[in-house]
Amino acid sequence: MKKRKKSNIENSLSPDENSGTEIRSVKSSSGKENSEEPIAEKKVAAQAANVKGQRVSIAAKTKQRIAKSQQAKHPGTSICFYFQVHQPFRLRNYQFHEIGSNHFYEHYNLNLEILNKVADKCYLPANEKLLELIGKHKENFKVAFSISGCALEQFELYRPDVIKSFQKLAATNNVEFLSETYYHSLSFIYSKKEFDRQVELHSKKIKSLFNFEPKVFRFTELVFNNELAKHVASLGYGGMLCEGADKLLKGRTPNHVFRAAEVENFSLLLKNYSLSDDIAFRFSNRDWDGWPLTADKFAKWLHDHAANSETINLFMDYETFGEHQWEETGIFEFLDSLPEVVLDHPDFRFRTPSEVIQLYPARDIYDVPEYSSWADEQRDLSAWTENEMQREAIEKIYSLEKLVKESSNEDLMKVWGKLQTSDHYYYMSTKFWADGDVHKYFSPFISPYEACVFYMNVISDFEISVREHLKKDIA
């Protein structure tokens, strides 16, 4: 029978390790110790030490491999790009004498003019650029959109080419669509039932147009508080977007995933307003000490956060690209170059809100007992509710809820929904300085007082129409 050849490991083992026999001195017949035995014993001991060293070395290398593997699996820092797309149905200068006789409220020509301008300057070229960047950077470049129902309806009516361009983006699977209220309203504050109706309406619209079921929610203008978080979580969403307000962060960085107060398994992504506004508001401001803002410079600012940031959330109006910041400012060149220089850092990736929520645990609680938003310096509800005109207008439109829903008239329901759009109250703001300038920029009216008068005239006629419809049903 052939003897098995010993392995290298077995050959290197000492006798006690290999056979269990004892190592001891062997005396010759004369009673003197054999001088060869100590030499052999030392050799065996040296071999054993060598094997032990090999084992330690193997263990150390194994630990290194595991550490490297874990490091490779770490998601690094995410850049979460979110764009809001919204166009309201603006009202015309509806006069008092028209009440009861003219039921057409919208400024058709102005709405069409603005839609065409923004579609050509922003939506189409920006979508084309994003599609190109996704093709170039594949899975490493992703973005998210929230598109109001008002905008989607106008695209369908007047600019179907814009819908098609968004559908091309959706087909890449690198774009996430978020849920919101259909009419870009403040409905949750005044009617939770109406809020739920609009959220469902919007989700169905996104599903029908883009074959996408939203999993993350954002309320109008990032309005948020603890009560809203609880309600949205109860609807089945996994998280929300909100403003990273300094007064609420209290010295903490917004660059982590947070958890809503008293809500389990519901994540919050906070806007880094400083970095977001560098693009959205300051990009073309020559008086800003950061001008000119190049992709390399901005990427460095992002990379500087690598050590203490898991997600940097850049939230802004999509109209930033080409409309608020004109093409001549270099905004499209900036967008074109940004992904490549950001991705030069091996730990950075562009990810969608859902991916960020799945990748990172919530690090802390973001407690927001009172409403916050991303609007104006105060970052609260004052953009829509700071004066008596605004509050009266909002209260009046929601006071008609019962009558409108009793009518069961689809056309009246649509008109009522459009009249809830937050832009109408935004135009009525009487704020001064920088905030006032922004309100004026967006308003189609000469003054906030005109905005209020024409809106209240419309509401008066609309109420007459609803009541007349109910009378006919009774009759």
**CATH code assigned at 131:** 3.20.110.20
User: What's the pLDDT score for residue 58?
Assistant: 55
204 token code pair: 């169905």
In the structure, what pLDDT confidence band is assigned to residue 431 with cuts at 50, 70 and 90?
Answer: confident
pLDDT score recorded for residue 441: 74
Q: What is the pLDDT of residue 406?
A: 96
Does the pLDDT of residue 474 top 60, yes or no?
yes
Which residue, among 385, 363, 388, has the nearest Cα to 375 in the 3D structure? 385
Residue 53: pLDDT over 80: no
The verdict on 77 and 178 lying in the same domain is: yes
86: exposed, middle or buried (Cβ count in 10 Å: 0-12, 13-18, 19+): buried
* Residue 396 reports pLDDT greater than 60: yes
Whether 336 and 353 map to the same domain: the answer is yes
Is residue 66 pLDDT above 60, yes or no? no
What pLDDT, on the 0 to 100 scale, is given for residue 475?
A: 61
Beta bridge partners of 42: none
Looking at 221, 319, 355, 386, which residue is catalytic? 221
- pLDDT at position 2 is 41
Residues 348 and 440 in one domain: no
20's tokens: 């269990």
367 and 387 co-located in one domain: no
Whether 388 is catalytic is no
**Mean of the per-residue pLDDT values of the chain:** 89
Of residues 88 and 37, more confidently modeled: 88
> For residues 196 and 30, which has the higher predicted lDDT (pLDDT)?
196
Phi, psi of 425 (to 5 degrees): -80, -30
Average of pLDDT values for 98-117? 97
| Domain final residue pick, 381, 409, 435 | 381
* In a shared domain, residues 353 and 412: no
Per-residue confidence (pLDDT) for residue 376, from 0 to 100:
84
Are 434 and 287 contained in the same domain? no
Same domain as 340, residue 456:
no
* Residue 68 predicted with pLDDT over 50: no
Tens-digit pLDDT profile for residues 98-107: 999 999 999 9
pLDDT mean over 451-475: 93
C-alpha 62/C-alpha 5 separation (Å) is: 28
For residue 252, pLDDT over 70 is answered with yes
Burial zone of 421 (CB within 10 Å; 0-12 exposed, 13-18 middle, 19+ buried): buried
In this prediction, residues 390-408 reach a mean pLDDT of 97
Boundary of a domain, candidates 381, 416, 431 = 381
Give me the pLDDT at residue 50, please. 59
Q: Is residue 216 part of a domain?
A: yes
Do 295 and 419 sit in the same domain of this protein? no
Report the alpha-carbon distance of residue 60 to residue 67 in Å, rounded: 11
Return left, alpha or beta for 183; rule: phi > 0 is left, psi -120 to 50 is alpha, else beta.
alpha
Q: How confident is the model at residue 60 (pLDDT cuts 50, 70, 90)?
A: low
Span 196-210, average pLDDT:
98
Provide Rg for the chain, Cα atoms.
33
Asked if residue 173 has pLDDT above 70, the reply is: yes
Q: What is the mean pLDDT of residues 224-228?
A: 98
- Residue whose pair of structure tokens reads 């003197």 in the numeric block: 32
Confidence of residue 32 (pLDDT cuts 50, 70, 90): very low
Q: Is 86 left (phi over 0), alpha (psi -120 to 50) or beta?
A: beta
Alpha helix (H) residue ranges in 281-352: 295-303, 331-343
Q: Are residues 279 and 374 in the same domain?
A: yes
How many domains are there within the chain?
2
Residue among 298, 271, 270 at smallest CA distance from 283: 298
**Residue 74 binned pLDDT confidence (cut-offs 50, 70, 90):** confident
Q: Is residue 55 in a domain?
A: no
CA distance 171 to 203: 18
Task: Average the pLDDT over 252-258 and give the result.
Answer: 98
- Report the DSSP beta bridge partners of residue 179: 217
Residue at which a domain ends, from 354, 381, 408: 381
Confidence of residue 75 (pLDDT cuts 50, 70, 90): confident
Asked if residue 99 lies in contact with residue 464, where contact means CB atoms within 8 angstroms, the answer is: yes
Residue 85 predicted with pLDDT over 60? yes
The answer to whether residue 1 scores a pLDDT higher than 50 is no
Q: Please check whether residue 418 lies inside any domain of the structure.
A: yes
Please give the C-alpha separations between residue 93 and each of 81, 111, 412, 428, in angstroms, as whole numbers.
Answer: 37, 13, 20, 14
Name the least confident of 64-73, 199-208, 216-225: 64-73
Q: Give domain status of residue 125, yes or no.
A: yes
One domain for residues 263 and 122: yes
- Is residue 227 a part of any domain in this protein? yes
Q: Within this chain, do residues 203 and 243 fall inside the same structural domain, yes or no?
A: yes
**pLDDT beyond 50 at 336:** yes
Answer whether residue 71 shows pLDDT above 90.
no
> pLDDT tens digits for 322-334?
999 999 999 999 9
* CB-CB contact of 310 with 355 (8 Å): no
- Asked if the structure places residue 97 within a domain, the reply is yes
pLDDT of 78 over the 50 cut: yes
The residue whose two tokens read 């020559």 is 286
Residue 65: pLDDT above 70?
Answer: no
pLDDT at 33: 46
Residue 38 forms part of a structural domain: no
Residue 456 maps to a domain: yes
What's the confidence (pLDDT) of residue 42?
55
For residue 439, the model assigns a pLDDT of: 62
Confidence of residue 473 (pLDDT cuts 50, 70, 90): confident
Q: How deeply is 279 buried, as exposed, middle or buried, from its count of CB atoms within 10 A (0-12, 13-18, 19+)?
A: buried
* Residue 326 shares a structural domain with residue 443: no
Q: Are 80 and 311 within 8 A, CB to CB?
A: yes
Nearest to 404 by CA among 393, 419, 395, 416: 416
Boundaries of domain holding 391? 383-474
3-state secondary structure 155-199: HHHHCHHHHHHHHHHHHCCCEEECECCCCCECHHHHCHHHHHHHH
pLDDT tens digits for range 310-319:
999 999 999 9
